[in-house]
Homo-oligomer: A and B are copies of this chain.
Amino acid sequence: MTSPAPSPDLLARFATIVGDRYAVTDAAEQEPYLIEQRGLWHGTTPLILRPGSVDEVAAILKLADDTRTAIVPQGGNTGLVGGQTPHHGEIVLSLTRLARIREVDATSNTMTCEAGVVLANAQAAAQQADRLFPLSLGAEGSATIGGVLATNAGGTGALAYGVARDLVLGLEVVLADGRVMNVLNKLKKDNTGYDLRHLFIGAEGTLGVITAAVVKLYPRPRSVETAFVAVPSPQAALDLLALAQQMTGGGATTFELMARISVEFAFRHAGCRDPLADQHAWYVLLEVSSTQTDGLRRRLDETLEAGLEAGLIIDAVVADSLDQRAALWRIRETIADVQRYEGGSIKHDVSVPLASVPDFIAEASAAATALIPGCRPCPFGHLGDGNIHFNVSQPVGADKDGFLARWHDMNDVVHAVVRRHGGSISAEHGIGVLKRDELARTKDPVALAVMRTLKTTLDPNNILNPGKVVSL
């Protein structure tokens, strides 16, 4: 077991590694590392360590392992499942000072980033080299490369470019005992033994601490076209996606489904304007991209016409300016946030096989309203990935706390539908503490046993983010 409260003497030894300036003990200074953005959790810690080098990270973990001291690694503190929060007074290991982009290699289409590089800065560095780093998500102004890899983040670019895991060529990882593993290569093909990258990507800092990564870059799109499309149903949206991929040669880089109620919240609370004259039950934000400068708008128009003819589209508008494009995106981007103006919201970040999305939405909506009559399902999300954020707003006028008290009941009925369709109860946010116990109840028992075996093997003293992902 890890010791619950490190002694003042031990804390001083940790502080010495990074120097006093980067050993944060002041309560006000600590605050941004301890709060969770939605107020779900508030951590406590005697000490936040902000190492400035991989060697310092290694020294910290070695001391932690030797003294059985629990460590919570942290990037930009934007995680949504409580994985980066010290729930039990653990020492926080903040990676934000490892913020150097070590190299951009435009010819090899690779970029080598330290863990603390902010995602938006990584995107900007790629753009400066006339390349695209396609990982993109709401928190990109704060989220770090280390954090998005540790949680295997998804986001809006996953349709075309894959999730965070798919964008990694090489890794540098500090193991629980302080050894530094360097598989930081720039190779697309490397079959020299077991793939160790994917053990640490998505492990939420429980198996090792990622300190740097080589990520993939792509040719930068020269043209982008954005459409806001009303569709009769999720099934029509799915068929439209297949049509768009066929007609644009896989050029659809965004395909976000939104139920009417979710965009209505954006109109009501975020000042967004409805881009279409009439109201419709379902919408798709469709974006196509190309590395060519011309011809894309024509291909999009042809796609929309074909969709209209096939009955997959009721109405559509295409952005004619960057301002119009931004306005369309803003509808999608505010959806999650503006739900709070409608009272309590119970969230589900789930995925199902693509073919099951329409049935999932119908069945989960029915199950939710059967559980709490009057509740308002607001499904939206990355349809092309089968990833629906199935958020449920409280009934109008209901008691918020009373509604939120049924969080787990609601999860149970929605996740039961997910499982019936062979889906995942955490598509892109991870497990952290929020879904740990449910995972333990529902994961394939052999897979869960292998996970526990890996945890106890790679972190025998359970110092790395203990209690997250798997409980031992």
Number of chain A interface residues as a range: 35 or more
Number of copies: 2
Picked from B186, B355, B430, B450, the residue with its CB within 8 Å of the CB of A191 is B430
Give the distance in Å from the alpha carbon of A93 to the alpha carbon of B435 in the complex.
39
CB pair B108 A354 closer than 8 Å: yes
Residue pair A387, B188 in contact (C-beta under 8 Å): yes
**Distance in Å: Cβ of A11 to nearest Cβ of chain B:** 28
Considering only residues 179-196 of chain A, those with a C-beta below 8 Å from chain B are 179-183, 185-196
CB pair B107–A354 under 8 Å, yes or no, is yes
> A189-B382, A453-B458 are known contacts; what are 13 more A-B pairs with Cβ within 8 Å?
A107-B355, A151-B191, A158-B188, A163-B188, A181-B444, A187-B422, A187-B424, A190-B426, A193-B447, A195-B201, A219-B245, A249-B292, A250-B250
Question: Which 8 A-B pairs give the minimum distances between C-beta atoms?
Answer: A198-B198, A107-B355, A190-B424, A186-B353, A108-B354, A189-B427, A181-B446, A108-B353
B-side contacts of A246, CB under 8 Å: 219, 291-292
Q: Counting CB contacts under 8 A, is A423 at the interface?
A: yes
Per-position binary interface string of chain A over residues 289-306, scored 1 when its CB falls under 8 Å from any chain B CB and 0 otherwise: 011100000000000000
Determine if B428 and A219 form an interchain contact, defined as CB atoms under 8 angstroms apart.
no
Query: Known contacts A193-B451, A194-B199, A196-B451; is A188 also within 8 Å of B385 by CB?
Result: yes
A107 cross-chain contacts in B, Cβ below 8 A: 238, 242, 354-355
Complex CA distance for A425 and B193, rounded to whole angstroms: 11
Distance A191 CA – B79 CA, assembled complex (angstroms) = 13
A180 / chain B contacts, CB cutoff of 8 Å: 446
Contact B353 A187 (CB under 8 A): yes
CB distance from A420 to the nearest CB of B (A): 13
Q: Are A423 and B385 in contact (CB under 8 A)?
A: no
Q: Provided the pairs A250-B219, A453-B458 are in contact, do residues A425 and B195 lie with their beta carbons within 8 angstroms? A: no
Q: CB within 8 Å of B: which of A229-272?
A: 238, 242, 245-247, 249-251
Q: Is the CB of B447 within 8 A of A181?
A: yes
Interface: A429 (CB within 8 A):
yes
Looking across the interface, which residue of chain B has its beta carbon closest to that of A245? B219
User: Interface residues, chain A, CB within 8 Å of chain B?
Assistant: 105, 107-110, 151-152, 154, 158, 163, 165-166, 175, 179-183, 185-199, 201-203, 207, 218-219, 238, 242, 245-247, 249-251, 290-292, 351-356, 382, 385-387, 422-431, 435, 439, 443-444, 446-451, 453-454, 457-458, 469-470
Contact indicator B191/A446 (Cβ below 8 Å) = no
If the complex has contacts A189-B158, A202-B191, are A109 and B354 also in contact, measured as CB distance less than 8 A?
yes
Contact flag A291-B352 (CB < 8 Å), given A194-B451, A439-B193: no
* In contact, B202 and A446 (Cβ under 8 angstroms): no
Residues of B within 8 A of A449 (CB): 179
| Minimum C-beta distance from A75 to chain B (A) | 16
Query: Would you mind naming 20 contact pairs between A and B with Cβ atoms under 8 Å apart?
Result: A107-B238, A108-B354, A151-B191, A163-B189, A175-B446, A187-B386, A187-B424, A188-B351, A190-B424, A191-B424, A192-B431, A192-B439, A194-B450, A195-B199, A195-B201, A195-B202, A245-B291, A247-B291, A249-B290, A249-B291
